[in-house]
A and B are shown apart, each in its own frame.
Chain A
Amino acid sequence: MKKPNPPLERSDRNPVSVEVSNLSKNYGSQKVLKDVSLTVHPGEIFVIMGPSGSGKSVLLRQIAGLESPTSGTARINGQDPSLPETRDRFALALVFQAGGLFNSLSVYDNLALYPLEHRLCAKHEIRDRVMRALKILSLENAAKKFPSELSGGMKKRVAIARALVMEPQLMLYDEPTSELDPVMSATITEIIATLKQEHQVTTIVVSHDRDLALTIADRVAILIKGVLRTVSTPAELRSVTDPEIVDFLNPKIDLKNPRYLKLEV
């Protein structure tokens, strides 16, 4: 039988790199990701954009080690993210699209769960850490509330606060600004940029929010129908000529020739 996990010691707090090599993912006969290769450098904000159903979230799940690729690899500092040892070594936080909060736990308990379970520090230190994270996201008054009592924007902020408590070296965001009003989207975008600036954490954001990508990304990858079409800086992206990318970034509404008539099932 396994011995209980010792308290985690992460002396190496440097941001990590992520390498995705020739990664493909099929669900039955459906090919969702096709031979995707990319590298995310330590400490950068890397935004993965693409139309709905292009495989962005699936790619994020491979990077988080929640699913195994059909072929190819995803690595965090050269190590397999699906292994518990890798997750022990490099704290990895994923902010889910719907928050992924534990509905049976209060906001405070949601945040305290990770340090408590991994015995990272004494209870009073955990309390300080949790309250600090709540304060950063202006959620001090929500500590005793349950997720069902929160609005969509608050849930996202709690999910980010929970990730912060983990002191991650790799932050993954899945559509952090979806379903939010423009002001809350801007707030979340600012939070992501500030966290990266202050904590030098490697950040991967999956989004189709063009404003978010062009404002805070160091580099942007465009994924269309499971194929990685380009990896560019926001400045380079403005001059890309690929018609599909241009159409995705600057869609024009044409009522005379509506695009919904050409949609594929």
Chain B
Amino acid sequence: MKHLNAIFEGLGSAILLAYRAFASLPSAPRIIKRVIEQVYLAGYSTLPIVSILSFFIGAVLALQSGISLQNFGAKQLIGTLVGESLVRELGPLMVSILLAGRVASATTAELASMKVYQEIDALETMNIPPARFLVLPRLLANLFYMPVLTMIGIIIGWFGGAIVCEYVGFIGVDSGQYFHSLTQFMTIRKVFDGLIKAEIFGFCIILIACNTGLRTKGGPREIGYAVTRSVVLSLITILILDYFITKALA
């Protein structure tokens, strides 16, 4: 019962935080600088790791599907499999998991230490709502960088698959065939679905990170607990949401 109460309390405060943040949307022109700063800190800085992971996920996917599909004589479908898996599932999911590990943890740690060291109290006495000053720039920045990161991750993953197909001898599918197969069944709708997923995941991750950080009470030890809680909660949330969004978009 106690845990259930805590879950509903957390959910309620996250919804309230999102409402407060977006209620101050008309003041967005004043926070453009901070939005750009967040796009750089959270989005641009995550790009190298997204690129490396996407490349190898695409490569592994091509390798595994090459091994499996050659038993059925369907190696020419590797492109379709890699393309669709990355666009609809692995691309958004992988970028979100990276976001939870890298950005959500940093966000929670920053806001939790601001809370513990009374910086949030100082903002409140100055009548500067933390939802507007700290949360809204992060949520808005996320709306910009999440689809871009996801799209870049997907494209690099596709190329990772292409290189494996081209250079791993037993697969024997050239990159021309691979891309022909990849584009044959690819539609704008599928790409759009993947990006929608990424947007929803990203929004939830940043909201959870901010909410967990701002609800931190106590001392330095609680900052560590808050970071762990934020990452775990983000991962659970995106995996649960993934099922429902996939079902809704099917």
Contact = CB atoms under 8 A, between A and B. Distances in A.
Interface of A: 1-5, 61, 64-66, 84, 87-88, 92-94, 96, 98, 100-104, 113-114, 117-119, 166
Given A1-B25, A3-B26, A5-B27, A102 B122 contact: yes
A223 B56 CA distance: 65
Chain A interface mostly: loop
Given A96-B121, A103-B117, A166 B23 contact: no
Given A98-B118, A103-B113, 16 more contacts: A1-B26, A2-B23, A2-B26, A3-B26, A65-B124, A84-B127, A88-B127, A93-B126, A96-B121, A98-B117, A102-B114, A102-B119, A113-B128, A114-B126, A117-B30, A117-B126
Interface in B105-133: 110, 113-114, 117-119, 121-122, 124-129, 133
Contact of B126 (A3, A4, A113, A119): A113
Interface in B16-42: 22-27, 30
Contacts of B117: 98, 100, 103
Contacts, number: 62
Contact of B128 (A1, A4, A66, A114): A114
Contacts of B114: 102
Contact of B122 (A84, A94, A104, A119): A94
B116 to A, nearest CB: 10
B1 to A, nearest CB: 18
Contacts of B124: 65-66
Contact of A64 (B25, B27, B30, B125): B125
Best-surrounded residue of A117, A118, A166 (most CB of chain B within 10 A)? A117
A100 B119 contact: yes
Interface residues of B, number: 22
Contacts of B24: 2, 4
B27 to A, nearest CB: 4
Interface of B: 22-27, 30, 110, 113-114, 117-119, 121-122, 124-129, 133
A122 to B, nearest CB: 15
Given A4-B27, A5-B27, A101 B128 contact: no
A1 B23 contact: yes
A87 B121 contact: no
Contact of A166 (B27, B121, B126): B126
Best-surrounded residue of B114, B126, B127, B133 (most CB of chain A within 10 A)? B127
Contacts of B122: 94, 96, 100-102
Contacts of B125: 64-66, 87, 92-94
Contact of B127 (A1, A87, A119): A87
